[in-house]
């Protein structure tokens, strides 16, 4: 412990030196990116095949299964593979089961996307798990099968989003960003340090998606980024399998021998580079950084670094988008949980959750996970009415009027407001960063996908990804190649990335501006209804699994819009909007009139002093492993109920979920 403590102090000292010696003031010396990067041709704006639409598709967890047999048994021993004509596996999939997706569902989903979204979105975020699960001992998966399934889904994207569907070799009309899921490899969950078989194979299968300049990085580590709006917005496809707690082949992000460590270093350098280029980033990956009282998806050292990086690059990161969990929800990374001791190499750190039943993710365990999130959010300070006014969040219920009347004098109100802001990291809630998790295409509940709207103000004329592809550009500017090397060198010296410059305005995740995420339109297809109309599976006799019943159509419709919705009523998806939603879920509605919890004030990372760690008794015992249940006064639970029902894509009514909480 002594040695580590010393090392930490040395490390922290290095930070201080590095910070003061920083020669670069990104926000005061904005390079003329536009000048430097505009492609040679001057009329790019006019020749652009299409303009930005301000929307993108997030789709995840297809789990295509070629052994799926309609009319077979759906229990966990048969998983829609066995017992032909004995069960009621649907043609389009079997909601409420552990079965994977029949090809018909996948084909029709792409058909629907082609008809309805192809020309409406600017890029596609595809967060992995194309292949079926390894859930049937009688039909073990093979490496070839997994490759084929990955290839099939990749082809479907190309066919759907290329200029000509008859010539699939034609170039893509928009960028598609794939990601490696824990079932896209074999054995599932186990992903060794690269280069390995899977990074090599997937780099070929995803040739159309991974920018040429990034291919080497991908083969090394399984991660890359694409400038989806050149010189404005990059999407980072993170290899979350190196962070994933269930990957027994690696060990976290603290030690230099680990691929997770190198990925974090890479991410940090790239985010710094984007800051200097005045660009923004969306981070995406398969396994989300889930961390609550009973679930922890990432190794704690990786979670710690990620949370620290997002805190320090809060001016750059637009948001994090994930899949894997199959339930619709979101989570915060709370910078108050950052514990710098986790940056120490070679230290075995205890996990946040002692007994993690993460792999057994049944409806019951999902219910208890959602409850654990609610408990976390119930502990957050709730915004007083004056803050909601500041945030121009219209008070969500009639009770607010009462709260307004109760306010005693302006001075007191101002104090209350300032106290609240102090707790949440200022008026933009910069204490937190946000991860949005999309539910899946595989119909554990209903098949679903989401279209996210983002702000494209003042970007009507910027060259698009397709324009740049045309010019065979996309190569990094020499100037930035050199700068990247400098940043790499500098990063090696200090374990903590530089925060935004003091003069930097809040980033797009925190205050509305170009690239801020605005709305989620969550779509789902009620395949129960489709199947019911045709009456095919109910009348199981004579089901012919070789041919699909004619006329059976997967039709996606809107489940909810976060902005037009009666319950969520989110003007945008900034952290503070979602924060307010989380407190409504946590403390119950009419939260604005509840007393706020007493909590430690939030401290900026920049202010964390090394001497904070001098008292040894603090080390190793500063984190609470579980949330202690407090007695709370809930009012109405309207928002929580909607959140819980939406988590399961409307497949279960709240009463059915409640039974399992």
Ligand X SMILES: *[C@@H]1O[C@H](CO)[C@@H](O)[C@H](O)[C@H]1NC(C)=O
x/- letters, 541..580, toward ligand X (CB under 6 A): -------x--------------------------------
User: Which residues contact residue 123 at a Cβ distance below 8 angstroms, ignoring those fewer than 6 apart?
Assistant: 56, 57, 174, 175, 176, 177, 226, 228, 235, 465
Taking the least distance from each CB to ligand X, the nearer of 418 and 544 is: 544
- Total residues contacting ligand X (rule CB under 6 A)? 22
Taking the least distance from each CB to ligand X, the nearer of 216 and 624 is: 624
Task: Decide if residue 528 touches ligand X (CB under 6 A).
Answer: yes
Radius of gyration of the chain, Cα coordinates, nearest whole angstrom: 25
- Minimum Å gap between C-beta 110 and ligand X is 8
The token pair at 513 is 């501006």
- Say which residue the tokens 């945008």 belong to: 572
Which residue of 41, 248, 394, 626 would you call a contact of ligand X, by CB under 6 A? 626
Task: Decide if residue 526 touches ligand X (CB under 6 A).
Answer: yes
Which residue of 104, 202, 373, 462 would you call a contact of ligand X, by CB under 6 A? 104
Binding to ligand X (CB under 6 A) within 284-303 occurs at none
Phi, psi (deg, nearest 5) at residue 205:
-60, -35
Taking the least distance from each CB to ligand X, the nearer of 429 and 554 is: 554
Closest-CA residue to 297 (of 342, 346, 361): 361
- Minimum Å gap between C-beta 128 and ligand X is 21
- Minimum Å gap between C-beta 430 and ligand X is 26
User: Which residues contact residue 598 at a Cβ distance below 8 angstroms, ignoring those fewer than 6 apart?
Assistant: none
61: left (phi over 0), alpha (psi -120 to 50) or beta: left
- Minimum Å gap between C-beta 354 and ligand X is 3
Cα–Cα distances in Å, from 46 out to 51, 120, 139, 173, 460?
A: 10, 19, 54, 16, 11
Tell me the window of 115-123, 310-318, 323-331, 349-357 that interacts with ligand X (CB under 6 A).
349-357
Taking the least distance from each CB to ligand X, the nearer of 17 and 661 is: 661
Taking the least distance from each CB to ligand X, the nearer of 529 and 553 is: 529
- Minimum Å gap between C-beta 620 and ligand X is 6
Taking the least distance from each CB to ligand X, the nearer of 488 and 637 is: 637
Q: Are the CB atoms for 208 and 218 separated by under 8 Å?
A: no
Task: Decide if residue 378 touches ligand X (CB under 6 A).
Answer: no
String of DSSP letters for 52-68: --SEEEEE----B-TT-
Which residue of 628, 630, 631, 655 would you call a contact of ligand X, by CB under 6 A? 628
The angle, 0 to 180 degrees and rounded to 10, between the axes of the packed helices 259-276 and 300-312 is 10
The token pair at 559 is 């489940």
Tell me the window of 178-186, 305-313, 590-598, 634-642 that interacts with ligand X (CB under 6 A).
634-642
String of DSSP letters for 179-191: ---TTSSSSTT--
Taking the least distance from each CB to ligand X, the nearer of 230 and 443 is: 443
Binding to ligand X (CB under 6 A) within 638-657 occurs at 650
Task: Decide if residue 636 touches ligand X (CB under 6 A).
Answer: yes
**Cα–Cα distance, 238 to 248 (Å, whole number):** 18
What does DSSP assign to residue 139? S
If one counts every other C-beta atom within 10 angstroms of the C-beta of residue 359, the result is 10
Phi, psi (deg, nearest 5) at residue 329:
-165, -170
The angle, 0 to 180 degrees and rounded to 10, between the axes of the packed helices 575-587 and 363-378 is 100
Taking the least distance from each CB to ligand X, the nearer of 234 and 340 is: 340
- Minimum Å gap between C-beta 333 and ligand X is 19
Tell me the window of 232-240, 274-282, 408-416, 621-629 that interacts with ligand X (CB under 6 A).
621-629
Which residue of 350, 457, 479, 612 would you call a contact of ligand X, by CB under 6 A? 350
User: Which residues contact residue 131 at a Cβ distance below 8 angstroms, ignoring those fewer than 6 apart?
Assistant: 63, 64, 141, 145, 146, 149, 150, 181, 183, 184
x/- letters, 48..87, toward ligand X (CB under 6 A): ----------------------------------------
Tell me the window of 36-44, 117-125, 163-171, 625-633 that interacts with ligand X (CB under 6 A).
625-633
Task: Decide if residue 598 touches ligand X (CB under 6 A).
Answer: no
What does DSSP assign to residue 254? S
| Cα 45 to the center of its chain, rounded Å | 32
Task: Decide if residue 34 touches ligand X (CB under 6 A).
Answer: no
Taking the least distance from each CB to ligand X, the nearer of 104 and 462 is: 104
Binding to ligand X (CB under 6 A) within 411-450 occurs at none
Which residue of 360, 392, 503, 617 would you call a contact of ligand X, by CB under 6 A? 360
User: Which residues contact residue 355 at a Cβ distance below 8 angstroms, ignoring those fewer than 6 apart?
Assistant: none
CB-hemisphere CA count at 13 Å for 282? 26
Helix, strand, or coil (residue 43):
coil
| Cα 18 to the center of its chain, rounded Å | 31
Task: Decide if residue 361 touches ligand X (CB under 6 A).
Answer: no
Residue count of the chain: 661
Task: Decide if residue 637 touches ligand X (CB under 6 A).
Answer: yes
Tell me the window of 69-77, 103-111, 276-284, 317-325 that interacts with ligand X (CB under 6 A).
103-111
CB-hemisphere CA count at 13 Å for 140? 6
Name beta bridge partners: 6: none
Taking the least distance from each CB to ligand X, the nearer of 166 and 360 is: 360
- By CB neighbour count within 10 A (0-12 exposed, 13-18 middle, 19+ buried), where does 477 fall? middle
Task: Decide if residue 105 touches ligand X (CB under 6 A).
Answer: no
Which residue of 49, 164, 204, 357 would you call a contact of ligand X, by CB under 6 A? 357
- Minimum Å gap between C-beta 527 and ligand X is 8
Q: Are the CB atoms for 58 and 438 separated by under 8 Å?
A: yes
- Minimum Å gap between C-beta 450 and ligand X is 16
**Cα–Cα distance, 429 to 335 (Å, whole number):** 11
Which residue of 492, 529, 553, 609 would you call a contact of ligand X, by CB under 6 A? 529
Which residue of 532, 601, 616, 618 would you call a contact of ligand X, by CB under 6 A? 532
Tell me the window of 68-76, 81-89, 390-398, 528-536 that interacts with ligand X (CB under 6 A).
528-536
Task: Decide if residue 623 touches ligand X (CB under 6 A).
Answer: yes
- Minimum Å gap between C-beta 2 and ligand X is 19
Task: Decide if residue 304 touches ligand X (CB under 6 A).
Answer: no
Tell me the window of 119-127, 227-235, 576-584, 617-625 that interacts with ligand X (CB under 6 A).
617-625
Which residue of 4, 53, 88, 107 would you call a contact of ligand X, by CB under 6 A? 107
Helix, strand, or coil (residue 433):
strand
If one counts every other C-beta atom within 10 angstroms of the C-beta of residue 42, the result is 8
Taking the least distance from each CB to ligand X, the nearer of 77 and 103 is: 103
Helix, strand, or coil (residue 419):
helix
Taking the least distance from each CB to ligand X, the nearer of 359 and 616 is: 359
Name beta bridge partners: 520: 452
Which residue of 27, 67, 361, 634 would you call a contact of ligand X, by CB under 6 A? 634
> Interface residues with ligand X (CB under 6 A)?
103-104, 107, 350, 354, 357, 359-360, 526, 528-529, 532, 548, 621, 623, 625-626, 628, 634, 636-637, 650
């Amino acid at each position: 412990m002594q040695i580590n403590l010393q090392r930490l102090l040395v490390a922290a000292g290095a930070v201080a030196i590095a910070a003061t010696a920083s020669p670069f003031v990104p926000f005061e010396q904005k390079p003329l990116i536009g000048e430097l990067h505009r492609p040679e041709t001057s009329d790019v704006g006019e020749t652009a095949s299409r303009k930005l639409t301000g929307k993108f598709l997030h789709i995840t967890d297809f789990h295509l299964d070629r052994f799926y047999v309609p009319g077979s048994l759906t229990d966990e021993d048969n998983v829609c593979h066995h017992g032909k004509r004995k069960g009621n596996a649907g043609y389009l999939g079997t909601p409420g089961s552990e079965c994977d997706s029949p090809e018909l569902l996948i084909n029709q989903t792409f058909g629907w996307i082609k008809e309805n979204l192809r020309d409406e979105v600017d890029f596609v975020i595809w967060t992995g798990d194309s292949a079926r699960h390894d859930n049937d001992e009688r039909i073990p998966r093979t490496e070839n099968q997994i490759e084929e399934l990955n290839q099939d889904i990749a082809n479907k994207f190309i066919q759907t989003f290329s200029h000509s569907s008859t010539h699939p070799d034609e170039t893509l009309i928009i960028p598609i960003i794939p990601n490696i899921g824990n079932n896209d490899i074999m054995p599932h969950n186990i992903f060794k340090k690269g280069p390995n078989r899977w990074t090599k194979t997937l780099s070929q299968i995803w040739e159309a998606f991974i920018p040429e300049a990034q291919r080497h990085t991908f083969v090394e580590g399984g991660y890359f980024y694409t400038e989806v709006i050149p010189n404005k917005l990059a999407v980072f496809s993170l290899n979350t399998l190196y962070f994933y707690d269930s990957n027994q082949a690696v060990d976290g992000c603290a030690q230099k021998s680990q691929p997770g460590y190198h990925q974090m270093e890479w991410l940090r350098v790239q985010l710094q580079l984007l800051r200097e280029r005045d660009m923004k980033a969306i981070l995406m990956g398969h396994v989300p950084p889930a961390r609550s009282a009973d679930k922890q998806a990432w190794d704690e050292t990786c979670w710690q670094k990620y949370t620290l990086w997002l805190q320090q690059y809060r001016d750059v990161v637009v948001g994090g988008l994930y899949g894997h969990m199959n339930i619709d929800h979101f989570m915060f990374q709370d910078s108050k949980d950052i514990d710098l001791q986790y940056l120490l190499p070679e230290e075995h750190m205890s996990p946040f959750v002692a007994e993690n039943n993460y792999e057994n993710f049944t409806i019951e365990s999902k219910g208890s996970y959602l409850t654990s999130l609610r408990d976390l959010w119930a502990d957050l300070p709730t915004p007083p009415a004056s803050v909601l006014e500041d945030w121009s969040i219209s008070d969500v219920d009639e009770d607010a009027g009462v709260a307004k009347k109760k306010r005693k004098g302006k001075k007191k109100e101002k104090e209350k407001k300032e106290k609240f802001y102090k707790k949440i990291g200022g008026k933009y809630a910069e204490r937190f960063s946000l991860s949005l998790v999309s539910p899946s295409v595989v119909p554990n509940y209903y098949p679903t996908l989401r279209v996210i709207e983002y702000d494209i103000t003042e970007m009507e004329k910027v060259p698009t990804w397709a324009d740049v592809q045309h010019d065979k550009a996309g190569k990094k500017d020499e100037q930035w190649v050199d700068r990247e090397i400098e940043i790499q060198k500098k990063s090696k010296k200090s374990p903590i990335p530089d925060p935004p410059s003091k003069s930097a305005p809040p980033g797009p995740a925190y205050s509305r501006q170009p690239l801020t995420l605005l709305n989620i339109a969550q779509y789902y297809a009620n395949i129960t209804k489709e199947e019911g109309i045709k009456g095919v599976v109910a009348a199981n006799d004579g089901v012919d699994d070789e041919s699909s019943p004619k006329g059976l159509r997967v039709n996606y419709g809107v489940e909810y819009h976060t902005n037009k919705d009666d319950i969520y009523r989110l003007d945008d998806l900034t952290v503070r909007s979602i924060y307010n939603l989380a407190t409504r879920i946590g403390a119950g509605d009419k939260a604005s009139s509840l007393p706020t919890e007493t909590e430690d004030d939030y401290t900026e990372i920049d202010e964390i002093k090394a001497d904070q760690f001098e008292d040894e008794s603090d080390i190793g015992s500063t984190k609470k492993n579980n949330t202690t249940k407090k007695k709370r006064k809930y009012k109405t639970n309207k928002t929580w109920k909607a959140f819980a029902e939406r988590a399961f894509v409307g497949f279960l009514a709240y009463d059915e979920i409640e039974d399992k909480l």
